[in-house]
Amino acid sequence: MKRTNRRTRYLGAAFAVLMALVFGSFAFGATSARGEEGADAAAPAQSTAETVPGEVLVLFDDPEAAELSVEAAEGGVQALSLEGEGELNDVPADAPAEEAAPVVVEGFEVEEAEVIAPDVDGQTIVSLELADEGETDALIDALDAIKGVSAQPNYVYQLMDDGVSAPLTNDEYADLEYFLGPLGDGTDSSGSNFYAAWQEFLSVDSPSSVTVAVIDTGIDPTHPDLQDNVRYDLAYDAVNDRKLTGDAGSHGTAVAGVIAATANNEIGVVGAASGAHASLTAPKVKVIPVGVFDGPSETSTSYIIRGANYVIDLVKDGKVRDLRVANFSLGIFPEDDDTEFDPAFKSVIDGLIEQGVLCVAAGGNGVVGPDGTNIGTTQVCYPSDYDPVLSVTALTENGANAGYSDYNLHKDISAPGNDIATTSPEGGYVWEDGTSFSSPIVASAAAILCSANPNLTPAELSEIICDTAAPLPSDENSHAGETGSVGALDAHAALVEAIARAGSKPSDGTTPAYRLYNRWTGAHLVTTSKDESMQLRGDNYGSWLADGICFTVLPAASTEGRPIYRVYNPYNGDHFYTESDAEAANLASHGWRREGIAWRAADAGEGVPVYRLYNPYMKANGGLGNHLWTISASENADLSSHGWISESAAWRAVR
């Protein structure tokens, strides 16, 4: 694979690599033909998967003992030295140190050497690029002779799409995103129930922000539909080890759009995850794009490791505390069902899981059949088929298994993968096909679950998503007994379970009260009606934004508690709530409109006090300010310090 824009830190001369592992008082060199005893050992079987010629990845089990340095040597040749403790594979553990014969590996010329992961899942990973591509297998065998060290090829990974994109017209495209809609019955469009999930999300008390890493080709930093939800300050180009400046193809921009295209901005599409936060003043679903491709369709293990390790460091260093999901819409197909394939890549997957990051990956798009279309197979695909990864297969628009989608017992869940409307570079929009786009749909659901319940672990997220899956509405390409996929993603059912596990559902007999804020007038509204909340948030002007759940009350129809009356001020759009019928009547005599009983409050001495505040600065038309209600004593005190007038406790909420 031709390399472009490679780091040139060690280029310009051939380097002899000397790897010295110090065992007790002995130092054993390591950089060329294997020692005599090692030459008789059986070499590990090599996969026939495509590899980058001349490149080797070396894994050291003890990153603290493996200290990398590049030192100038005689004749301008540089030596890569590592010092650590260990012993040779072929020396008995009880042998005296002085009897340990050295294994010398020398003579390999290396054009580039770099630590691409200094400490991931207990290992250090070094990338070597040989001057002679034909010596790759020999170097791997030689390094494998040393205990605590293993070596492997640098495998080639590909994107998991079908390579076809259809441009969309220049219009509002949300209605084309069928995958956001309800589950189907096999006769019409079958989505993943995101609309219902977004509505359910309104019941979440204080949702958390969440960030998704998209490890792909990069992103178009100028796309207007991605501006609000992408962390461009942390976007990373793993190929050139620098800030990401663009998309090496178009794939990454499309994947990011499925997750986080901006909602309610009157253009383009809406992301499956960002739609849940559409009406919130905060927080937001954010995406961090990590470019690991040096071209539009292929990458290698070393670039993926560097990109994934960057994500691990963001979490470990506390730079991004809410990074909970990583999407891999890429893959490779080894010819044998090798669960130990590409251990270097597997180590960073384990490192991400260890940091609380769920890994979601595309399950693969089959092989090209006689008629030129892809046909799904049972061949394994990595990283999707690694055990900790949530592996996603593709469904057609009517909910059947897509004919091109791979299937085997390593797969976990299915989601729409045909005609996925999303973003493309230069401000465009496309339809995309493939498990590459099923994967970010599932990643979006995981992000919403994390926002509702940030305490969920990667294993719990996978469990909830799989346990709440719906049966496929069509038995076309059923692959019964041959696939591990438990069914179709149901984002709503998964969110309900995540909320229940968080204990954030109100107890029986109570209902949450949602507070909304009008950004044009400054007015606040409180309602127990999800329908009213959604209707206001879905107006054509983006006027109303959600302020979350402010308290829990008894329904208006309850026979318990004390009635709270709602009154509307037509002069400035302010809403007012009071348990005093006399106050409601007095306001009505001045032109306010009575809107009946909003809900019922807790009886005197029970529940928590609700503070009523008046903002004298937000005056409109009739010169009347706006009111706000809260059970937060700190919010009451803070607003009072900024000139709001606290009107004491208005009534009592259940909680």
| Catalytically annotated residues | 216, 251, 436
Quote the CA–CA distance of 279 and 264 in Å, as a whole number.
8
Q: Which residues contact residue 652 at a Cβ distance below 8 angstroms, ignoring those fewer than 6 apart? A: 601, 602, 603, 604, 606, 607, 608, 609, 610
Helix, strand or coil, per DSSP, at residue 620: strand
What is the 8-class DSSP label of residue 176?
Answer: G
Q: Which of these, 302, 446, 334, 379, lies nearest to 1 by C-alpha position?
A: 302
Closest CA to 262 of 223, 305, 311, 291: 223
CB 414 within 8 A of CB 438: yes
Residue 546: both structure tokens together? 């959600």
**What is the C-alpha to C-alpha distance for residues 292 and 236, in angstroms, rounded to an integer?**
9
DSSP three-state, residue 196: helix
Q: Which residue has the tokens 């069509």?
A: 474
Bridge partners for 563 per DSSP = 600
The b/e string for 404-439 (b: 16+ C-beta within 10 A; e otherwise) is bbbbbebbbbbbbbbbbbbbbbeebbbbbbbbbbbb
Alpha-helix runs per DSSP H in 261-364: 301-316, 343-354
Q: Return the bridge partners of 150, or none.
A: 59
Residue-by-residue DSSP string for 375-419: E------BTTTSTTSEEEEEE-TTSSBPTTS---TT--EEEE-SS
